[in-house]
């Protein structure tokens, strides 16, 4: 796979074999995105791999290690399985009290805001685009996304309670995000054989006989899915999280957790992970290494350890900060940070 062009306004995304779709071109921004996410597209020789193992691959090693570290502690967990997502791991690192309240089910039911509804609409639209065989105009794409989301309990309730003007605002926000995505990324329908896109893929994997469940939904996966060269080598897949807001420190950890989840579920690691910021078109890319996967596994074990400790009625270590604004225990917590004006909701971070 290679890029063909001489630096003009648009360059053709070529592949051999087979040839690129007739008449399809990439803008310089789209070409830069692909060069960042799939650098092997411009190589002619085999890429090296950090996964030089024999016998069991990284997925087997990670699962064995996780079972050994977390299995015994899982017996101390009461009630239903401990579900660990990227959000829950982040809450633990912010404050054990916030994590404890989340695990205990004290957070209020999720209710959409204009911003979160637009984000949900964007993701459903891109899921439809990833599965399309021909380009669809943005208005029709959003119409279909709204129709499909009408069956979603949270979005459907939000949508029915909005006025026509409020719905138009949400659609406009989502349409702008779709435009920004298309400005930065090659057409998913036109290049589906090269990019092999999969959107909104739900992944989960149980540990400790089902007492622990790792889970998450990856916004977009691109790249050829065959396993890498050598035993346990990485696949050619790239996991992408799309962001309409600003960068946060935990974004890199979120993607390492996704890499771990993908590895455990699929059996081979992804080639790399990336956070794509639609406002700027920039991608924060990280090659998936054994060290990155181990780091993610250690965060999982830390969460199981914290949950077991809290289940034994050991009080949480309280760490005040901006996250206190999202904690359901804020009103009674002795360590809560004071309220400030103009606070945003957690999902708007």
pLDDT averaged over every residue in the chain: 86
Domain positions in the chain = 2-40, 58-106+195-338, 114-193
Looking at residue 20, what is its pLDDT? Answer: 46
What is the percent of the chain where pLDDT is above 70? 82
Local structure of residue 344 (DSSP, 8 states): P
Looking at residue 38, what is its pLDDT? Answer: 81
Whether the CB-CB separation of 301 and 76 falls below 8 Å is answered with no
Looking at residue 24, what is its pLDDT? Answer: 65
What confidence tier does 16 reach under pLDDT thresholds 50, 70, 90? very low
Looking at residue 25, what is its pLDDT? Answer: 73
Burial (CB count within 10 angstroms: exposed 0-12, middle 13-18, buried 19+), residue 132: middle
Looking at residue 94, what is its pLDDT? Answer: 96
Q: Distance between CA atoms of 141 and 143, rounded to whole angstroms?
A: 5
Q: Mean of the pLDDT values across residues 174-190?
A: 95
Give the pLDDT confidence of 61-110 residue by residue, as tens digits.
999 999 999 988 999 998 899 999 999 999 999 999 999 999 999 999 99
Give me the CATH code for the 58-106+195-338 domain, please: 3.90.320
What confidence tier does 26 reach under pLDDT thresholds 50, 70, 90? confident
Tokens of 344: 């945003």
What confidence tier does 249 reach under pLDDT thresholds 50, 70, 90? confident
Query: Residue 198: pLDDT above 50?
Result: yes
User: Which of 20-34, 170-184, 254-268, 320-334 bottoms out in mean pLDDT, i.e. has the lowest?
Assistant: 20-34
Region of residue 341 (phi > 0: left; psi between -120 and 50: alpha; otherwise: beta): beta
Query: Residue 311: pLDDT above 70?
Result: yes
Give the pLDDT confidence of 253-290 residue by residue, as tens digits.
999 999 999 999 998 999 999 999 999 999 999 999 99
From first CA to last CA, the distance across the chain in angstroms is 37
Task: Give CA separation, 185 vs 33, 182, 334, in Å.
Answer: 6, 5, 47
Position with higher pLDDT, 141 vs 26: 141
Q: Burial code of 61-81, b = ≥16 C-beta within 10 A, e = fewer?
A: bbbeebeebbeebbeebeeeb
What confidence tier does 233 reach under pLDDT thresholds 50, 70, 90? low
Query: Residue 207: pLDDT above 60?
Result: yes
Q: Mean of the pLDDT values across residues 225-230?
A: 51
What is the percent of the chain where pLDDT is above 90? 70
Looking at residue 349, what is its pLDDT? Answer: 41
Neighbours of 265 (CB within 10 A): 16
């Amino acid at each position: 796979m290679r890029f063909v062009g001489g630096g003009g306004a648009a360059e053709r995304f070529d592949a051999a074999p087979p040839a690129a779709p007739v008449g399809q071109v990439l803008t310089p921004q789209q070409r830069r995105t692909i060069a960042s996410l799939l650098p092997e597209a411009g190589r002619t020789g085999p890429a090296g791999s950090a996964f030089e193992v024999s016998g069991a691959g990284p997925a087997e090693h990670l699962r064995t290690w996780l079972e050994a570290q977390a299995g015994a502690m899982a017996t101390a967990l009461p009630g239903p399985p401990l579900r660990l997502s990227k959000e829950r791991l982040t809450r633990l690192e912010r404050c054990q009290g916030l994590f404890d309240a989340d695990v205990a089910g004290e957070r209020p039911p999720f209710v959409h805001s204009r911003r979160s509804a637009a984000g949900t609409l964007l993701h459903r639209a891109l899921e439809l685009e990833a599965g399309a065989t021909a380009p669809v105009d943005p208005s029709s794409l959003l119409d279909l996304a709204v129709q499909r989301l009408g069956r979603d309990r949270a979005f459907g309730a939000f949508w029915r309670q909005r006025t026509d003007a409020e719905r138009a605002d949400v659609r406009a926000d989502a349409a702008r995000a779709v435009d920004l995505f298309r400005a930065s990324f090659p057409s998913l329908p036109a290049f589906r054989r090269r990019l092999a896109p999969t959107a909104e893929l739900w992944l989960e994997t149980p540990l400790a006989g089902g007492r622990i469940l790792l889970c998450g939904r990856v916004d977009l996966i691109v790249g050829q899915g065959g396993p890498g060269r050598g035993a346990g080598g990485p696949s050619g897949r790239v996991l992408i999280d799309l962001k309409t807001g600003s960068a946060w420190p935990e974004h890199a950890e979120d993607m390492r957790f996704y890499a771990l989840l993908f590895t455990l579920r699929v059996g081979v690691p992804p080639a790399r992970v990336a956070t794509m910021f639609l406002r700027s078109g920039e991608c924060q890319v990280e090659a998936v290494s054994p060290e990155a996967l181990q780091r993610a596994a250690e965060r999982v074990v830390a969460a199981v350890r914290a949950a077991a400790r809290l289940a034994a009625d050991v009080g949480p270590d309280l760490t005040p900060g901006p996250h206190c604004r999202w904690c359901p225990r804020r009103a009674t917590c002795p360590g809560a940070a004071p309220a400030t004006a103009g606070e945003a909701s957690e999902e708007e971070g």
